[in-house]
Amino acid sequence: MAPRASAPRRSRTLSTIFVEVPPGKPAFTKGRLRTVVVATLLGSFVIFAIFNGLGPARTRSLDNTRTNETSPRRVQGSKEAPASAALQAVWPDTEESDDRHEQDEETSSTTEISTIQESARPPEPFLPFSCGLPHERKSAQRVHVGDTVERTDTIDDQHSSGDLEEAVVFAGTGLDVRRVLKRAMRSHLYGRKRATSAIADLGSSEMMYDGEEPFRILVIGGSVSNCRGVDAETDCYPSRVLRWFHDVLPMEGDRDSEPSGSNSMSGSRDEAGDDDAHVPRGPQLRRHERRGAPRAHVQSRRRPSTRLIDGSRSASGSAFYAYCFEEEMTLRRKNVDWGKGPDLVVVESGVNDVWPGGEQAMRDFERLVRTLKSLPSKPAVIALEAASLLLASTAGAHASPEYLHLPAAHFYDIPVLSARNLVFGPHAPADTRPYKQSLAELFLPDLHHPNERGHALLADILLDYLSEQACRAQSELLAAARSRLSQTSALDQMPNSAAQAATSASHAVDPLIDFPRRKDEKTRALPDRSLFEPVFYTKKKGKTAPKPPAPWKMPAASCAQIGNAKSKVAPKRNRGWKKMAWSRDKQYLVADKPGASVTYEVHVGPGGTILADWLRSRSYGLGDVSVYLDNDRTQSVQIAGYQDFGWSIGVPTEVFRDVPPGAHEVTFELLSEEESSHPERETNFRLISVIST
């Protein structure tokens, strides 16, 4: 048998890639053509790489040879003749080029080291005080006195660094306080970014960033927060808190929002004599800075500022705000710029919550806390408890309102700061601390309201806590900035001038990058049960097991301030009652003739309760009224205005419970002298509001 013809063998070399092509077949098929193209490109790349690699290497080798040949002349100081003309023609200015080469290498190395050191530099703190011991966190507070600036007389200058810690009854986690302080820090740093950035200014003084907005502080409380007996703009504790924010976290619009007689920022602005000197000219941000950050909106803007909203009302405590907060804020403060709502709420109710005390005070405070935490602005809440020498000398510490507030404070994470605990705590009043040597020096002659020194103490207690939380917030922001810097590599590809500017800016906390957006803030949801509800637990399983209760919903309240001149609620029937404005925040519906009656229609909801708020005092000749529902006198309730207090107070109090939902009529009828509980049978009565849930 004839041997089988062998198939033509394909060469493995590029030069003979096809051999012995059988007749009748094309020399180049698609597959072979693809192979040729790939092989050709690969070979070209290899040849190009070889020549480009050897070229610089050969040049450096020749340079080194020339250097070695000429260096002995420089080192030994030889006077030999210079290189021949032929050599100079081939390598002109050999020594000079070597020197330049060495200098370039030296400069490049120095620049690399400098860049590495610069990128390793940690971000710089921005608070104007050292975050060390409490006494290192002091911040000078100044007020204008004529044409000069003087330091206010604060208790903070007189006590040791650990004294104010005694005022912290419950510190809480501080999460909410730090969260809202970062809002103020962000708006503050936006202004600094505009004022100090090295990037070119393209007319961006009107640039407004996302999240750049005023910081609003709401103060609610009684006559202490209403600045009874002291100057509201210079001595009262809310004004001192406002000056601290202007001093520590100044914003561009703080000077515009200052009340007369106070000073928020340093006197350098006034010394400059330029009214617009405090308005920073904002820089446009380059794209590499905006990457991954909120976009800026260029529009006409108002300069952000820290704003104080006075929500105080004399002779009122937690119960009034718990039921009438919305009514009070909208009825008497229609011109307030609420914006998105308050960021920080200071609740001062440690004096007026002393009555009625007990469980009712706990329930009222819980309702107030839930009301404030349910606001759309998600504010932080701090309970600041004022002190009263009159109350402290008539009741023991067990009746102190801050201890009645503690259960709700723990349950809802509300810091409780108490001047009473600091001044009237377990230490003897006669110890060596200046403010305990004479307790009366902290109060007005009535021994109930704080004077200027008492307000300074209240401010110091609050500001010491805020300073501590500001330091912790700054640490969190610096950690975020360090994390950002460790992951940044874009600066290596930028020109030197732009890199230096961006590096300088990147080593500060960036309000566009290092802060969470407001909608991304982490907030704790309200508990799904009341403070007074037990934890659900059962051992039973299966179909017979009881189901957990539905999440608790606090019944909404409807409050009608029937004594307020601005109230639009009119009585259905009225005989002998009229409105009286005792002061700006003390307005009543008053009657003094027995038999006078007034009827209001109320709408009762799921809560099924009707409450009344009236003035209680041993002054003003207050008597009693009979309250009945839907003309049913058989179920009437008698309430008394006379109370043997050393102060006057109004407290919403439950009159009817388990009332069917729907519309009802509530009637108040003034009782006779014989039925009055006043020692001298007086019959005056002052109604404040009617409330239903």
pLDDT per position as a tens digit, 21-67: 444 545 445 566 677 667 777 777 667 666 555 444 444 444 444 44
Closest by Cα among 310, 303, 301 to 346: 310
- Domains, in order of start, for the chain: 164-189+212-263+302-482 (3.40.50.1110), 558-692 (2.60.120.260)
Checking if the pLDDT of 246 tops 90, the result is: yes
Checking if the pLDDT of 230 tops 60, the result is: yes
Checking if the pLDDT of 334 tops 70, the result is: no
pLDDT of residue 613: 96
- Phi–psi pair at 219, nearest 5 degrees: -115, 120
Checking if the pLDDT of 512 tops 80, the result is: yes
pLDDT per position as a tens digit, 447-493: 899 999 999 999 999 999 999 999 999 999 999 998 888 876 444 44
Stretch among 285-299, 324-338, 594-608 having the lowest mean pLDDT: 285-299
Partners of 650 in beta bridges: 615
Mean pLDDT of the residues in the chain: 76
SS3 of 428-492: the string is CCCCCCHHHHCHHHHECCCCCCECHHHHHHHHHHHHHHHHHHHHHHHHHHHHHHHHHHHCCCHHH
pLDDT of residue 414: 97
Stretch among 34-38, 177-181, 249-253, 412-416 having the lowest mean pLDDT: 34-38
Highest-pLDDT range among 71-85, 303-317, 593-607: 593-607
pLDDT of residue 337: 79
pLDDT of residue 404: 92
- Phi–psi pair at 615, nearest 5 degrees: -80, 135
Checking if the pLDDT of 621 tops 70, the result is: yes
Checking if the pLDDT of 219 tops 50, the result is: yes
What distance in Å separates the CA atoms of residue 332 and residue 349, rounded to the nearest whole number?
A: 20
* Residue 225 and residue 238 in contact, taking contact as beta carbons nearer than 8 Å: yes
Assign 551 a pLDDT band (cuts: 50, 70, 90).
very high
pLDDT per position as a tens digit, 563-619: 988 888 999 999 999 999 887 788 999 999 999 999 999 999 999 999 999 999 999
What distance in Å separates the CA atoms of residue 459 and residue 506, rounded to the nearest whole number?
A: 35
pLDDT of residue 684: 96
Assign 677 a pLDDT band (cuts: 50, 70, 90).
very high
Stretch among 43-47, 66-70, 136-140 having the lowest mean pLDDT: 66-70
Closest by Cα among 386, 453, 418 to 157: 453
Checking if the pLDDT of 272 tops 90, the result is: no
